[in-house]
Amino acid sequence: MKKITLALAAVALTVGLTACGPAETGGGSRPKTPMPTGVPTGPEYATADAVMKAMGTGGLECKLLRRAQANFGSGLDCMAEVDGAEVENEIHVLDPARFSRDDIGDSIAGRRQPPYSHTIVAAGNWYVWVRNPDYAPQVAKALQGVVLKPLGESKS
Per-residue pLDDT of the chain (156 residues; tens, 9 = 90+): 454 444 434 333 333 333 333 333 344 577 899 999 999 999 999 999 999 999 999 999 999 999 987 778 899 999 999 999 999 999 999 998 999 999 999 999 999 999 999 999 999 999 999 999 999 999 999 999 999 999 965 444
The whole model's pTM is what?
0.78
Burial of 36 (0-12, 13-18, 19+ CB in 10 A): middle
Give CA–CA dist 63/134, Å, rounded.
Answer: 19
Beta carbons of 102 and 36 less than 8 angstroms apart = no
Helix 136-143 × helix 48-57 angle, to 10°: 100
What's residue 126's pLDDT?
97
Q: What is the pLDDT of residue 15?
A: 34
